[in-house]
Amino acid sequence: MYAAVVRSFDRPPRYEEFAAPEPTGRQVLVDVLAAGLHPRVRSGANGTHYTSDGSLPLIPGVDGVGRLPDGRRAYFVADDDGPGTMAEQTLLDPRRAVPLPDDADPVVIAAAMNPAMSSWVALRRRISFQPGQSVLVLGATGNAGQMAVQIARHLGAAGIVAAGRDQQRLELLTGLGATRTVSLAGDPAEAADRLGKAAADVDVVIDYTWGAVTERAIPALLTQRAERSAALDWIQIGSMAGPDITLPSFVLRAANLRIMGSGQGSLTAAGIVAELPSLIDQFTAGTLTAAALPVPLAEVERAWTAPIETGRRIVFTPSASA
Ligand SMILES: NC(=O)c1ccc[n+]([C@@H]2O[C@H](COP(=O)([O-])OP(=O)(O)OC[C@H]3O[C@@H](n4cnc5c(N)ncnc54)[C@H](OP(=O)(O)O)[C@@H]3O)[C@@H](O)[C@H]2O)c1
């Protein structure tokens, strides 16, 4: 078969022939119809993800849509220690797969599920989000952020503050459900002040930035909060602005701040998989939308290093029948 193959962590994958994997146990060999190029895929392929054990060569790709031997299609999440999904064929574990309805577009599903799942499971499993609550999405201009805005609206958020750097994308978020937008561009202290003024009284923060953005945002929000003892659930999901923050101890004493993460590990794989069918339903019904850019897998090397089109996810289509 042909696959995207990483042979060095400092070079993009190349399209080349590779031995098809052999299923063991419950695994099934599937034809891959679509696989998204998510940030998590890039960090796995350049060896910087925390699960990376340095082994090469590897086939990247954490999820995708596959066609089973009986013709059915399924969205699936690849096993952590198995081959990735950016190949004509890969292994599917039925415990990490859900069937796709006939009218589901595999490219849209492959683009959408990873970014959408992040806020869907966070709001439904990490906290008990209630209609009428308000949300700040930090890093709302990315694929996951724009999904979080739509999902917060779908789950009944009364107010949705969308914060990001890209002004054009920020403006588009109003059409997706944001009730207010805040620019994170320019002077960091001024951006934090804008955030504090716009979002001090939200109930939930969905945070894709962390790093310097969050470090300034936490005190900016908490010190301007009308009711400090009102709970603020800060859900850490991504770290686009840096892996670490320094947190002054007073913010934990002076307000009712509850910081938690959401992702694989803070949720069980079974818990995440249980949420997938209802999320897929939203895409087939058109309640949620995602922008996808399908690219033949043969073009992986070029597409990997091409400038990233924010808000539109590259989806490789390895199998000709996609
Ligand atoms: N835990 C989970 O379950 C889970 C699931 C999916 C994704 N994630 C994580 O969530 C994050 C976002 O994923 P994505 O799919 O949305 O990625 P994406 O589509 O590539 O978007 C990334 C966004 O990050 C913003 N950004 C980058 N550097 C920034 C900085 N220094 N300050 C402020 N904003 C910055 C950019 O905003 P501008 O365009 O406005 O500059 C961009 O829109 C990633 O870290 C990803 O790994 C986690």
Sketch the domain layout of the chain as residue ranges: 2-100+291-317, 114-261
| CATH class entry, domain 114-261 | alpha beta
Q: Is the minimum distance from the CB of 208 to ligand 1 under 6 angstroms?
A: yes
* Mean pLDDT of the chain, nearest integer: 95
Same fold, 2-100+291-317 and 114-261: no
Say if residue 83's pLDDT is above 50. yes
Q: How far apart are CA 97 and CA 66, in angstroms?
A: 9
Distance 132 CA to ligand 1 centre (A): 26
Q: Is the minimum distance from the CB of 181 to ligand 1 under 6 angstroms?
A: no
Distance 143 CA to ligand 1 centre (A): 7
Q: Atom 44 (ligand 1): residue with closest C-alpha?
A: 238
Structure confidence by residue, pLDDT tens digits, 241-295: 999 999 999 999 999 999 999 998 899 988 999 999 999 999 999 999 999 999 9
Q: Quote the tokens at residue 230.
A: 């009102």
Distance 23 CA to ligand 1 centre (A): 34
b/e sequence 68-93, b meaning 16+ C-beta within 10 Å: beeeebbbbbbbeebbbbbbbbbbbb
Model pLDDT, residue 81: 85
Q: How far apart are CA 210 and CA 20, in angstroms?
A: 39
- Probe target for ligand 1 pocket from 208, 213, 272, 310, with the most ligand atoms within 8 Å of CB: 208
Q: How far apart are CA 283 and CA 109, in angstroms?
A: 7
Say if residue 321's pLDDT is above 60. no
Distance 274 CA to ligand 1 centre (A): 24
Arithmetic mean of pLDDT, 290-313: 93
Query: Regarding the domain with residue range 2-100+291-317, which homologous superfamily does it belong to in the CATH classification?
Result: Medium-chain alcohol dehydrogenases, catalytic domain (3.90.180.10)
CA of 262, closest atom in ligand 1: 1
Say if residue 174's pLDDT is above 90. yes
Q: How confident is the model at residue 322 (pLDDT cuts 50, 70, 90)?
A: very low
Distance 237 CA to ligand 1 centre (A): 9
SS3 252: helix
Distance 241 CA to ligand 1 centre (A): 8
Model pLDDT, residue 310: 79
Model pLDDT, residue 311: 82
DSSP state of 19: P
Arithmetic mean of pLDDT, 157-182: 97
Q: Quote the tokens at residue 25.
A: 């146990």
Model pLDDT, residue 320: 62
Q: Quote the tokens at residue 167.
A: 């002004």
